[in-house]
Structure 1
Amino acid sequence: MVHNTLFKVAEVELTYKPKYKPSERPQISTSKQAHEVFIAHWSLGKIELIEEFKILLLNRRNRVLGIVDISMGGVTETLADPKVIFAIALKSGASGIILCHNHPSEELQPGKADVDLTRKLQQGARLLDILILDHLIVSKDAFYSFADEGMM
């Protein structure tokens, strides 16, 4: 009986519910386009209240595979666990990731923790042959792009 329990392991399950035909998936080529996709999937009633972290998963042609809510935190921070991010990216077959979180204060400049997390995720992604294409910090009406500011 003990031997049977040794082989029972949990599987990370990812549900993929495409809302588009592959040819109709949005293609992301600018930070503005990425911002529009993220904001369309954000609860704008919460964007000034709590910090959230999301990722956009892209195929090799930068077409959107999906958007995933990674975490929801408090007023001043949220946790973005690299293990969770990469498990989802690998399970979905993503070639690229765009990171995104909001600052409820609407201060769009990245803090040290934002920069450190981005670098850490870039290092891990390189090992997995995944590109971290950008990291956006968003508010209702504006955004900051690490890529546009030469930080990627």
Structure 2
Amino acid sequence: MTGTLVDLRILFTVVLKTLSTAIILAHNHPSGTNKASGADMTLTKKIEQAAELFDIRVLDHLIILPDGNYFSFRDNGLMKN
């Protein structure tokens, strides 16, 4: 497998049912690539836009690597606010 789909309806069903006011997204890169892909960035923007409609903040999107390191969208200036 080289990619995973995220169904925004399922994601926001959980977020709304739990009355969350903020979320942190996370996924792994088993390849060890310490960089966000174009698909990662596009998905993050879509989730941020959807969350904004519900006044929910996306605090960060983390990519977890097998060696324990991580890539933070927030730390790398890739988050909206």
Deviation by residue 1:77-131 (Cα, 9 ceiling, x = unmatched): 1111111111100000101110001011010201100000000000000001111
Question: Where does 1:1-150 land on structure 2 (aligned, <5 Å)?
Answer: 74=1, 76-140=2-66, 141-150=68-77
Report the Cα distance in structure 2 between the residues aligned to 1:99 and 1:144, rounded to whole angstroms.
12
Q: How many residues are treated as equivalent by the alignment?
A: 78
Q: Which has the higher contact order (CA 8 A, sep 6+)?
A: 2
The TM-score normalised by the length of structure 1 is 0.50
C-alpha RMSD of the superposition: 0.8
The TM-score normalised by the length of structure 2 is 0.92
- Tell me the percent identity: 45
Matched residue SS, 1:85: helix
Which runs of 5 or more structure 2 residues have no equivalent in the other structure? none
Matched residue SS, 1:148: coil
Which runs of 5 or more structure 1 residues have no equivalent in the other structure? 1-73
